[in-house]
Structure 1
Amino acid sequence: MENILVAGANGTTGKKIVQLLNESQYFNPIAMVRKEEQQTYFTAKNIDTVLGDLEEDVSHVFKDSKSIDKVLFAAGSGGKKVIEVDQEGAKRLIDASNKNGVKKFVMLSSMGADQPEKAEQLQDYLKAKHNADVYLKSSGLNYAIVRPGALTNGELTNAIALEEKLHTRGEISRNDVAQTLVQTLNDDVANNVTFEIIKGHTQIGEALNKMSFVKA
């Protein structure tokens, strides 16, 4: 079992990710939360937790928890602190991951983060995500950057459209995003790649295995 640190574990998508990891035979989740009271939700389910605030130094997280094999960054400020959390918080965790020999860093990004200057909305958020993505790519870590379309609260369909660049907008449920992120943690798929996803007709595992684009 690999220990997976989940940043943003207390978020809507983060909780889905942690639950999937907890049900997995391959992964053990470590839920990273900001406040002690947020630990209760996870400890009640016998899920490991660690306290860490992305607006501050996070190097202690790797000492205060079990040995961390991989990191899944699903944190977000909800548009309130895009520089402090979405950009600089991600950079802090990338640096700490590098220093602690993390084997893979999976980043939940956003469609449009490749060209934030062209966005009609959320330009500041997309710029922050873009900067975090660029930082991860240049970090030397093995990475996967996942850029979903507009998130919905729909049911799990386990079917997506996946390409390095989809050239079309679309929606995708948080459940399908969470499932994709968890499967992306596997060693044999999505290494040093960036890709976009929306709802589609290809099974998630099949879509990940079929990625034929050049590593970005």
Structure 2
Amino acid sequence: MENILVAGANGTTGKKIIHLLKNSQYFNPVAMVRKEDQIKQFENMGVQTILGDLEKEVSHATKGIDKVIFAAGSGGKNVVGVDQEGAKRLIDASKVDGISKFVMLSSMGADHPEKADDLQEYLKAKHNADEYLKTSGLTYAIVRPGSLTDDKGTGAIDLQEKLHRNGSISRDDVAQTLVRSLHDDAPHHTTFEILEGSTPIGKALNNVS
């Protein structure tokens, strides 16, 4: 079993990731949370937790960890401090501790934030974090979904390096894609976009070059 640190475990998508990892035969989730009062819910599930604030030093968070999913976000409150610099801090810690794969939850539009009508500051922060990861030397996958919905997941997506259209995707299917991206036979050193679609997630990932 590999230990998977989930940054942003207390978020809506983060909790879905934790549940998937908890039920996996391959992975053991470690929930990274920012506040003491967020620990109990994960402990009640039998999930290990670690306190870590992405706006501060996080080098302790990657000790004993094999792989990382970065699903944290500031919700627009501090996109530079959390979504950008927080990601960089965790990437740096991952390099020191020899993390074997770093899976980044990004966003469609992060490749060209200057073209966005809104959320430019957020997309620029995501862009900078993605670029930092690409040049880090870590094995990585950068997953860029469209607009997130709370619809029930279908287990099927549309996945391309660049989809050239807008759309949405359920948090369920995003979480599934992130977890599947952890596997050693999943694509690495790659960036791709996902929307709701008709191709089973595993097959879609297999088709990535």
User: Quick one: which amino acid aligns to residue 104 of structure 2?
Assistant: M
Can you give the 5+ residue segments of structure 1 that lack an aligned partner in the other structure?
none
Give the superposition deviation at 1:60.
1.5
Counterpart amino acid of residue 107 in structure 1:
M
List per-residue Cα deviations over 1:95-120 (Å, max 9, x = no partner): 00000000000000000000000000
> How much does 1:140 deviate?
0.2
Match of 1:4 in 2: 4
Matched positions, count: 209
Q: 3-state SS of the aligned residue for 2:124?
A: helix
1:54 aligned partner: 54
Match of 2:205 in 1: 208
CA–CA distance in structure 2, aligned partners of residues 48 and 162 of structure 1 = 32
* Residue correspondence of structure 1 range 67-216 to structure 2 within 5 A: 67-212=64-209
- Alignment partners' CA distance in 1, 2:17 and 2:54: 18
What is the aligned partner in structure 2 of residue 34 from structure 1?
34
1:62 is displaced (CA, Å) by 2.9
Contact 2:18–2:31 at 8 Å: present in 1 too? yes
Amino acid at match of 1:190: P
Preserved CA contact (<8 Å) 2:162 2:192: yes
Structure 2 counterpart of 1:147, one-letter code: R
Secondary structure of 1:39's aligned partner: helix
Whether the 8 Å contact between 2:141 and 2:187 is mirrored in structure 1 is yes
TM-fit CA distance, 1:193: 0.2
Contact 2:50 2:61 in 1 (8 A): yes
Write the letter of the residue equivalent to 1:95: D
Structure-2 separation of matches of 1:166 and 1:61 = 34
CA offset digits 1:136-167 (Å, max 9, x no partner): 00000000000000000000100000000000
Shift of 1:7: 0.1
Q: Is there any run of 5+ residues in structure 2 with no aligned partner, and where? A: none
Q: Deviation of residue 75 (structure 1)?
A: 0.0
1:181 alignment partner, SS class: helix
Q: RMSD of aligned C-alpha atoms?
A: 0.6
- Offset of residue 211 of structure 1: 1.0
TM-score under structure 2 length normalisation:
0.99
- Which amino acid in 2 is paired with 1:58? V
CA deviation profile, 1:83-104 (whole Å, cap 9, x unmatched): 0000000000000000000000
Tell whether the 8 Å contact from 2:33 to 2:53 is kept in structure 1 after alignment.
Answer: yes
- Measure the CA separation in 2 of the matches of 1:59 and 1:20: 25
